[in-house]
Structures are given as C-alpha cells and as structure tokens.
Chain A
Amino acid sequence: MGRFLLKRILQGAIVVIGVTVVVFVVTRLIGDPVRVMLPLEATPEQRAAFAAQLGFDRPIYVQFFDFIGSALRFDFGNSLWQDRPALEIVLEALPRTLLLVGASMVLAVIIAIPLGILTSLRPGGFLDRLLVTLSLTGLSMPNFWLGLLLIVIFGVQLQIFPIFGSGTLAHAVLPAVTFALPSAARLVMLTRSAMIDELNKSYVQLVKAKNVPFRRLVGAHAFRNAAVPVMTMTGWEVIRALAGYSVVVETVFAWPGLGFLAIQSITRQDLILLQAIVFVVALMIITINILMDLAYKYIDPRIKLT
C-alpha cells in the first residue's frame, strides 16, 4: 500500500513537471511573453523594463530552472490583471468549480445508475431503445449549446432560473445540469453494458438457482461487480469536467470558477494567471487519479495495487 502510494505520487510528480515544461516551452519559446502581455502600443523602453522586471531578459536555461523551481514552490508571481499573487486568485475560484463539478456528478450518478440498471434488465426493450437514443442525442450536443438552450428555455422563456453569475443556489442549477447531462448519458450507456455483461455470467445462474430475490440479485451481486467500471468512468467524468468542460460551461453561465478565470486570463493577456490555473488543475487531476485507485481497492478487494 505504502509502496503503491509512493509510486503513484512519483508518477504524478512526473506529470506535473511535464505540464510545467510544456507550459514553459509554449509560452517562452513558441510565444513571446512580453508581446503577449503588453499592449501593442507599448514602447521598446517599456518592453525592456517589463522584461527585466519579470526576468524575461535572462538566459533561457536560467529562466527554465527558475520557472520549474518556483512552480514547485507554488510561487507563480503576481497576476498582471489583479496585481496580487496568482495562486491566491486561483484558490478563490477553485472551490466554486469543485462545488459545481461535485454537484453535477452527484446528479449524473443519481440519474444514470438506476436508468442504466433498468435498461440492462431488458436489452432491446422499449425503455432501452428510448434511453439509448436519448443518450446518443445528448452526447451529440455541444455542451455550450446545451447550456444556451437551457438559458433560452428556463431563463428567458419560462424565467425559472437566473442565467448568469453566481451567488445563490438557484444560480448553480442550470450550469450543474449542463455539466451533468452528457456525463449522465455516458454513464447510462456504460452501466447498461457493464450490467448486461454481469447478468450473462454463470454466477448469476447460481444465484438465481438459489432462489435469491431478484432485487438482491441485481443490487447486491451483479451491480457490485458492474460498479468498478462505472466508478472508473465517474472519475474520468470529473477529470474531463475539470480539465476542459469547466472552461466552456462556466463561460456560458459566467460562473466565476477556474474555467471562466482561464478565459478571462487570456482576454486580459495575463499569462501568469493562466500558468497558475493549468498547474493547479494538473495537480487536481493527479489527486483524483490516485483517489480512484484507492477506491477500487475498497470496492473490489481482489484488485491488487501495484
């Protein structure tokens, strides 16, 4: 167990350093940070002063080690846009994103697992075909469009929910649903196929032969085994949401989380803030990956952690 954790944390560290290196290469070698962060009309003197202030005039290898070193100390420097430590801004936005992603994943799981089990009991039946069609349709909608449709229907036409910003619980409903629906669609499909696989296994025949009630057969035997892939997928859904969908969905609803902050940092030409966001999100992804592995062991004691 201890060795496993150590190994995973080491792998995680490699990923974080990898992300940092990529960010450095892209922002310092492919792009010119001074050109990106200063307005077009800046004079050469202003540019030189800016470069000196942020250390962009030093040799590139000095900048590289300095960049990696300060990233690992969580010291990203001050945001240009808000003139305070970038990490501080990121840590303010992070809970809002986690709240949204957490709420929507709970919603997705509550919707998807019962529906997935239900459809698996009668593959090819009416309910099964209806849900599979609905899931496929849901998956085909771009999530920003789904969000805007919800805004048009529930915010503008019916005026049930507020449509922009945050503050009250009602503000979170539409963005959470926008996050949850595609995840729920994927989870329904997966739960369905995992359950169909389980129900066709021979131990189910044995359990049936022992006259165990059907509810117990499905819930305690088949689903317990199907839960492992379903959980993996849920973990991936969280990662997907953090690593990308949050940018789009939060921008649609002007929800002040990490994703919206990323877009704002680009429009404000604040590379320092963007770097801090990418770093923190990479850390989150690694943490979730490790937690997922630990959870497997808990659900299925046969799994050996190596």
Chain B
Amino acid sequence: MSIVAEKVSVEFGGLRALEDVSIAVRPGRVEALIGPNGAGKSTLLNVLSGFVKPTGGKVYVGDLDLTRAGSHQRALNGIARSFQTPRFVPHMSVEENVLIGFFPRVGGRLLPPVVGTRRHRHEEEAIRDRTRALLEEFELTEVADTPAADVPLWRLRMLEIARAMALDPQYILLDEPAAGFDEQERDLLSRQIARLTEAGVGVLLVEHNFGLIKSVSSHVTVLAQGKFLADGDPAEIDSHPEVVEVYLGKEEH
C-alpha cells in the first residue's frame, strides 16, 4: 500500500507552485525528490503531509482519500515527517522531544495521567523504554537529558527522525535532512535511512545531495518550476540531459 499524490496542483494567489505532479512512495523503498530551488519539492511534501491543501489532484494512502484531511490526521494515518529547519520544543529535553512522537499511539486524554491509572503508568514506561532504544539508534543517548535548544544541528535532525519513528509510521517524509551535514554525518543518515527501509517503512527523501540519493534511493522524481521533469532510477537521472541542464544550465550561462 503506497502513499500516492495524483496530478496535484497548488496555486497561491496567482502563483503556480505545483502543476499536475504525481509521485508515489512505496513501502520499504526510498523515493527521492529533487529539483532546483523553487521547483516545488517542499510544497509537494507539504501536500503529502497535509500542511498545504492542493487546488487540484488527490492524495491517497492505499484507497483512503486524504486530500482534504488535516495535517494532524496524516500522523494518525501513519505518515510522519521531518522539517527543513528542525522543529522542536527548546526547553524540553531531547528525550521528551522524542516522546511527543508517541502522541497518537497513547492518545491525548487528560484523565488517565491526571488520575494516575495503572495502565497509563505502564504505557508511559513502555514509551520511555522505546524512546531510550530510539535515542540509542540515532546516537542521541549522550544528549538525552539536554534541553533541545543546546544541541547541535545534526543531532536535531536525528531527533526529528527519531521522533518520526516513534509513531511507528508506514511512511516518513524527510525534508532535506542532510542540509549542512559533513560526510560523516551523511553516512550516518544513509545508514539510518537504510534501516528504515529494512523495517518496511516507505521514505520520501527531498534532497540536494546526489551522492546521498544514489546510495539510498530506488527511484528519483525530478521537478522543475512546479512541473514534472523526469523520473527514473538514480543512474538514469544522473546522466539525464534535461536534468543536468536544469541544475547546471544557469552556471554555464
């Protein structure tokens, strides 16, 4: 069961951010989404995660139509995401920031924690255990109790992915997770992504770094100026003439 965007268009006050774009994210595979700045990659990701409502087209998970569903409902349907600039609660610790990822799985009812039911205490214990495991997986154990505001960027990106994983999602949408990373950090990231796919999660990877894309993804979609330009496996795209031109053309002239 894939998450599919079908002929999606987005218009903001006369500006066409996306025009008839389709993309599919399959379980256990990494779908890469590339394109020059302003191509509409983040917009498409926002449509898939429910932060932008398309003016045309549809979004499906399996046969469930999510097009008009609110952003919080994406999470409820197994779609997690990260953000280009990491979002977190600065005065909560890294561990607590990952804990909020469990929200849909334990529910937000106020009475169980307030009354202190046994079930709630045991649930809280379970998610703390799971969080500790996630922190270790994403190399965050050292900073578990540090306020998130005091933690370096690469750890914040790991935090975002760990938090996304807390949902036990079927799909993760990653928005430029490797921006500002050095090679070592990129390697760490590609290992994490590989683990995600091994676990059967479908990944959408919006990225600029083609090396990273080649190492993890099975399929690449290229956008330019809000429109579909090309797609194929990484090797094909690497040598695709139009893609090369759209990325390098401006520099030549």
A interacts with B = no
B residues within 8 Å of A by Cβ?
Answer: none
A residues within 8 Å of B by Cβ?
Answer: none
